[in-house]
Amino acid sequence: MRKIFDKQQKWLFEVAELPVSLGQNDTRIDFVLRPTDLEFYLIAECKRVNPAFSDWCFVKAPYITRKRSTKQLVVESVRIHLSNVKNIQNPITELEYFEHNMYSVGASLRAIDNAYEIGLEVKKQNSQNGENSPSSRGPLQQAAGQVIRGLNGFVNTLPKIYSNASRFNQDEIHEIKLMPAIFTTAKLFVSDIKLNESDIVTGKIKSDPDTLKEVPWLYYQFPVSPSLKNEYGPKVFQSLSDLLYMDSIRTIAIVSYDGIDNFLDQLYWTIA
């Protein structure tokens, strides 16, 4: 984690172990980073993996939706409009806060190439662990669900910060971007195998071991279930494609230890 904190010239370490709530469930965010000059929050989950299943492999889905031909870096975009001033009185002091209107939706930052829809944990051949798979819902899916839960819990927390009348002005509008990231001890591999060319009878996939390569970090396109969403999303969409991308799909950065420097540099110049 020292490498992350050494990025102080571009990134600020905001907080660690932040408690948030989503629905009836409480959780904690491992840590939050923010660029020094932007309203952008990186919601981070740390994942140390079982050595027997420390190889995470990712492939691209051949087809997602008929309306979008390119992969997009989709983050949570939150809009807060501050309105009327209210007062809170307590025995110690009197505080002023703003009423607010809030809206949260998926937004694309740019097109990306290193985005993958399918991720699997692969057992090492020399492992003495008797399991053939980590679980029906492995550590990758658990970490993805956890970081998304933390992100949407963080969305619910934003009014507590941005409604402070001593910091902001009436009728201000804040556009805030949030992105989830998993920092892991796993080794990350990607393949360009064509899933749509698999045998329709046996399900076997034509593959070449040379197509598998290790990468320092990648983007994982994660479909967020309704139970993990915040309460400020849109209620109506133009199409199923818009529903998928604006309400469901969020891009999670998955970063190995060796990829931290490059990932934070690349992300900063993407959002700057």
| pLDDT on residue 34 | 94
Return the structure tokens found at 89.
Answer: 């009185």
CA atoms of 129 and 116, how far apart (whole Å): 28
Residue pointed to by tokens 């934003």: 158
CA atoms of 150 and 128, how far apart (whole Å): 34
Of 183, 46, 186, nearest to 124 (Cα)? 186
Return the structure tokens found at 18.
Answer: 């932040």
Residue type, position 68, single letter: R
CA atoms of 182 and 32, how far apart (whole Å): 12
| pLDDT on residue 136 | 45
CA atoms of 111 and 101, how far apart (whole Å): 30
Mean pLDDT per 10-residue segment, the chain (272 residues): 64 94 93 93 94 90 75 94 68 67 92 92 68 64 96 93 73 91 96 67 61 93 94 88 89 95 93 86
Residue type, position 20, single letter: V
Please report, for the chain, the start and end positions of each structural domain, with discontinuous segments joined by +: 2-267
| Cβ(112)–Cβ(218) below 8 Å | no
The CA–CA distances, whole Å, from 153 to 47, 162, 250 equal: 19, 15, 15
